[in-house]
Structures are given as structure tokens and as C-alpha cells.
Amino acid sequence: MPELIEFDSNALNSLLLSGVSLGVFLLLGLLVRALVPLTRRLFLPAALIGGFLGLVCGQYVLDIVPAGMSATWSSLAGVLIAVVFAPMLLGQRLPPFREAAREAGAQIWMSYFSTFVQVAVPALLVFAVLGPLFGTDPLLSTIFEASWSGGHGTAAGMDETWTALGWPDGTPLALFAATVGLVYGVVMGTVLLNIAAKRGHLSHEATARQVEQADILEEADQNQATTGRLHASALSNLAFHGSLIALAILIGSLFKHVIDQVVSGVPLFPWR
């Protein structure tokens, strides 16, 4: 189990300020989406836009955001990825094996192909070319699957593993690869989407309506996102869901503690 340390009020206040600052950038990203139609046409989420604004305001560009706050943000990614993984199956009905195999068959083949491209090909390149010629660390071949399939959160979550294996450079390289993959995916995805629409594979009307639709929905288009199962006087719906996520994270932490007795360096988030 990780060592538990005591936080004083100053540390908690710093963490609180860093957290609310992320909320401010998220709202700024939403504002940019509302004012700039191009961002909606490119399907850029408010979180990505807000993150870019945070990068611009950081120490490497405008130097508005303090370095300590940026460091806190960097540390949060490897922790909060567990919150992303924990609720993935909560509330989901697990189908019978035959039904799951039938519905997921195509996705399984896609996963095999993706695994070959992002794991086997880089491993062969490092083994046959980059390693002998440049002395590249063999672990370089692992960053592509973590960053392209996993994204920034998974790349940050792998920091513990790469550090335990003696390769701390893996995290910044994986985060850079995730950024490149994200930008490439947004640009090429938009291009392919427009090509598909022009060839009639998509509904022009539906695509245009989605792009032109404002982010703030009219009353007629609003929908109910959740359904409460508990009386409000007992526990709010949000608090109940948060408690379930917390329980899943705790169980995952116990699993990791057991696994660490056999194999060290296994990241925490998959077990949650």
C-alpha cells in the first residue's frame, strides 16, 4: 500500500486552488467553443481547448500560471486516470458470452491489428534498428500503445511502471506522443469525416446540424442525464456514484498491493 502522509492546510489550499483553476480553464474552453464555430466543426472538446489555453498560460509561453501549479496539474493526471477507469463497468449489464462474442467480434480483430501496429512494430524497430544503431532503450517501444490507444491519462499513469523499470524518460515521451496522436487524430478524423459525408456514407443533414448546433441546448433539446435511485434526504445521486467509484478504487488498490508482492511496477489504474 502507498505510504500515507499528512497534508497541512497550506498544501490543501494549494491543491484546491490548482483544482479550481482547472475548472476556470475548462469554462474558458467552453466559451471558445461557443464563440468560434471552427472548433465545433473540428469536433474539439472544451477540455482540449481549455488544456491548450492552460499550456499557453504556462511557464513555457506566457508564464502566467505558477510553476508549482503546473507541477500539481502534472501529478494529477497519473492519479485521476484511476477515476476514469473505475466507473467504466458500473451500471453496465454484462451480456452472455455468446452475445458478447458476436457483438465484440469485429472490435476484437481491430484490437489485434491495433496491438500489432502499436506494440509489435515499434518493438521490432527498436530491436532491429534503433537499438543497435543508437543504443535506444528497449522500453521506448512501449510508449506508443500507452499514448496512442491510452492517451494522456494512461501515459501519465504508466509513470510508476517506467520509473520502477529504470526509465523515467518514458512519461514525457509518452505524453508528447499522445499529443501528436491527438492532433493527428483530430485533423485526419475531420478530413475523413468530410470525405465520408461527400461520398454519401454519412447524412449531410445530420452532420451539418451537429456542427451548426450551439453547445447550449434549447429547452426542447434538453435531456435528463441521470436517474436517481436514492431518496435525496438520504444521499444525493452524485455522492452515491462518487462513493461507488471510491470503493472501486479502494478494491483496485488492494489488488495492486497483492500483485506488487509478485511483480513490482504494475500500474494501479487497470485494477480499478
Number of H helices, E strands in the chain: 13, 0
| Mean pLDDT, residues 97-117 taken together | 81
Residue 169 has pLDDT above 80, yes or no: yes
Quick one: pLDDT band at residue 205, thresholds 50, 70, 90?
low
Helix/strand/coil for 52: helix
* Euclidean distance between CA atoms 143 and 157, whole angstroms: 12
| Mean pLDDT, residues 87-108 taken together | 79
Quick one: pLDDT band at residue 212, thresholds 50, 70, 90?
low
Q: Where do we find the cell 482547472?
A: 22
Residue 225 has pLDDT above 70, yes or no: no
Q: Which amino acid is at 1?
A: M
Give which of 212, 138, 205, 149 is closest to 181, Cα–Cα.
Answer: 149
CB of 70 closer than 8 Å to CB of 60? no
* Euclidean distance between CA atoms 181 and 149, whole angstroms: 9
Quick one: pLDDT band at residue 98, thresholds 50, 70, 90?
confident
Listed range (75-84, 193-202, 236-245) with the worst mean pLDDT: 193-202
String of DSSP letters for 258-271: HHHTTSTT--SGGG
Helix/strand/coil for 64: coil
Quick one: pLDDT band at residue 31, thresholds 50, 70, 90?
very high
pLDDT at site 22: 92
264 vs 52, more confident: 52
* Euclidean distance between CA atoms 262 and 272, whole angstroms: 18
| Mean pLDDT, residues 150-160 taken together | 80
Q: What are the distances in angstroms from CA 246 to CA 73, 74, 86, 261?
A: 21, 22, 8, 23
Residue 202 has pLDDT above 80, yes or no: no
| pTM (2 d.p.) | 0.68
Radius of gyration of the chain (CA): 22
| Mean pLDDT, residues 35-60 taken together | 85
Residue 21 has pLDDT above 90, yes or no: yes
Q: At 220, list the grid cell.
A: 426542447
Quick one: pLDDT band at residue 51, thresholds 50, 70, 90?
confident
* Euclidean distance between CA atoms 80 and 5, whole angstroms: 18
Which pLDDT tens digit goes with each residue over 229-250? 777 778 888 888 888 889 988 8
pLDDT at site 20: 92
Mean of the per-residue pLDDT values of the chain: 81
* Euclidean distance between CA atoms 102 and 237, whole angstroms: 34
Report CA torsion sign: 163, 169, 170, 172: positive
Residue 119 has pLDDT above 60, yes or no: yes
Residue 84 has pLDDT above 70, yes or no: yes
Could you tell me what percent of the chain has a pLDDT over 90? 10
pLDDT at site 48: 85
pLDDT at site 27: 94
Residue 89 has pLDDT above 80, yes or no: no
